[in-house]
Amino acid sequence: MLHFGAALGAFILAQILMALGFAFPLRPLFAAGTLVTVHLLTLGWLSVLMLGALHQFVPVITGKGKAAGVSALFSLLAILFGLAAMEAGFLALGGDLPAAALLFLPLGGGLVFCGAAIAAADFARLLWQARPLSLSARFLFCGLLFLFAALGLGITLGLAFAAPRFFPSPAIFGEGLKLHLLAGLFGWFTLTAMGVSYRLLSMFTLAPEERGALGNAVLLASAGGLWAAWLLAFLAALGAPVPGAATAAALIVTGFGFALYLFDMARLYRARRRQKLELNALMAIASLAFLAIALLCALLFSLFGFDERLLGALAYLFLFGWLSGLGLSQLYKIVPFLTWLQRYGPVLGKRPVPRVQDLVDESRDRPWFILYFASVAAAAGFAALGFPLVWRFAVAGQLLATVMILRALWLVRRGLPEGPEMLAAPAAAQGGPRFSSTA
């Protein structure tokens, strides 16, 4: 819960900075304000959210151990302090702090690395004990490897800014940055989100979790293609004679893997046994649609060319529509579920308890999710068309929707043990969550 609270705080702060015009498109794509905001989003929001979810999720999918204890707290603190130091470094890069503060970039990045390593050590132990790994777990394993590739490259970029004399070649800022983005946005975020969604969405929609040969093809094309592309690009950055066509071919295979994943998700939803979808599963469809749109735009841009504006809009669809949309919609189930376990787990079978779903009010919260996704679509469109002022209104809509969803989660946490949901749920007198977990 601490991870989720900290992550949502960073998400809201990043959107406030955007609405105030502190980041792209009102500032250049590589301005200090944009870098501060991007890392609040990528580390503070998405990485902390994913690590928090994995602390709960890895013990469940491996069937081993309990949710992490105090080590998860140390990991979170290291990441948050490291991020704060990094942000000071980015401000120094833009001249808002003395140049000496540039050193905070690699130092803060190093602290984030240590925090992530503490968490990953826990996950690695559980995954190792659960061999042979399930499909979800194999995605998580690949995602975690990419996390460290992204962090390692980020620290190297930070060192290159803090101590440029040790990095005479400017290639670090070109090729190094591409590798950083590839590992972070596609490797860590997307592969992990794919692995988690395979498990969560099959549980929430009561669809078969076994994905058969198609699931393996998705893993092979997306994770295999991405590793091949990343390693080829890495070798090329070191000066090896790697043909550009080979890296491009590996990237095409990766894109094909993501498209196959979307096809498999459609198959999963069609095969579901729960006909009336809960809000979280319904909104996950919206985030998957954003992934499809982002893939289509990436294809069109690579065929017809793109500029900074289109690139920013594409990143927007990807970060806010796909990744953040999936994160917000799944928090809307995970937080009530964990709260339900804490509050009613000890009395289960001894007295009537409500259903997990009785802890939320879907009809009250549905409009906020709709506002969130509509605002993201509008903001990406305005960024692409170059209307930064109206773009701020769309971001404000997105921010309002996020705050209202946070409020809904807060109400779940604050609900009284004998709250109205108890009275509203006579049918659930036998109690029990609607999906199973060993958590």
* Site stretch for ligand HEM (CB under 6 A), options 148-156, 228-236, 238-246, 360-368: 148-156
Task: Assess 425 for contact with ligand HEM (CB under 6 A).
Answer: no
Give the number of residues in contact with ligand HEM, rule: CB under 6 A: 28
Least CB distance to ligand HEM at residue 161 (A): 6
Q: Are 147 and 189 in contact (CB under 8 A)?
A: no
Of 42 and 134, the one with the shorter C-beta distance to ligand HEM is: 42
Task: Assess 143 for contact with ligand HEM (CB under 6 A).
Answer: no
For ligand HEM, which residue of 50, 120, 157, 236 counts as binding (CB under 6 A)?
157
Residues 6+ apart with CB under 8 A from 173: 157, 160
Of 58 and 279, the one with the shorter C-beta distance to ligand HEM is: 58
Q: Are 116 and 48 in contact (CB under 8 A)?
A: no
For ligand HEM, which residue of 33, 59, 154, 433 counts as binding (CB under 6 A)?
154
Of 95 and 349, the one with the shorter C-beta distance to ligand HEM is: 95
Rounded (10°) CA dihedral 51, 55, 59, 64: 110
Q: Site residues for ligand HEM, window 356-385 (CB under 6 A)?
A: none
Least CB distance to ligand HEM at residue 230 (A): 14
Q: Site residues for ligand HEM, window 109-138 (CB under 6 A)?
A: 109, 112
**Tokens describing residue 386:** 């170059």
DSSP string, 331-380: HHHHHHHHHHHHHHGGGBTTB----GGGGS-HHHHHHHHHHHHHHHHHHH
Tell me how long the chain is.
439
Interface mask (CB under 6 A) for ligand HEM, residues 59-98, using x and -?
Answer: ---------------------------x------------
Q: Are 51 and 116 in contact (CB under 8 A)?
A: yes
Interface mask (CB under 6 A) for ligand HEM, residues 18-57, using x and -?
Answer: -----------xx---xx--xx--xx---x----------
310-to-231, 305, 316, 317 alpha-carbon distances in Å: 27, 9, 10, 11
**Tokens describing residue 120:** 């990953």
Least CB distance to ligand HEM at residue 429 (A): 45
Question: What CA–CA distance (Å, rounded) separates 233 from 94?
Answer: 29
Structure letter (DSSP) for residue 163: -
Task: Assess 158 for contact with ligand HEM (CB under 6 A).
Answer: yes
Whether the upstream peptide bond of residue 433 has omega within 30° of 0, thus cis, is: no
For ligand HEM, which residue of 101, 117, 177, 439 counts as binding (CB under 6 A)?
177
Site for ligand HEM, rule CB under 6 A: 29-30, 34-35, 38-39, 42-43, 47, 86, 105, 109, 112, 147, 150-151, 154-155, 157-158, 161, 173, 177, 180-181, 184-185, 188
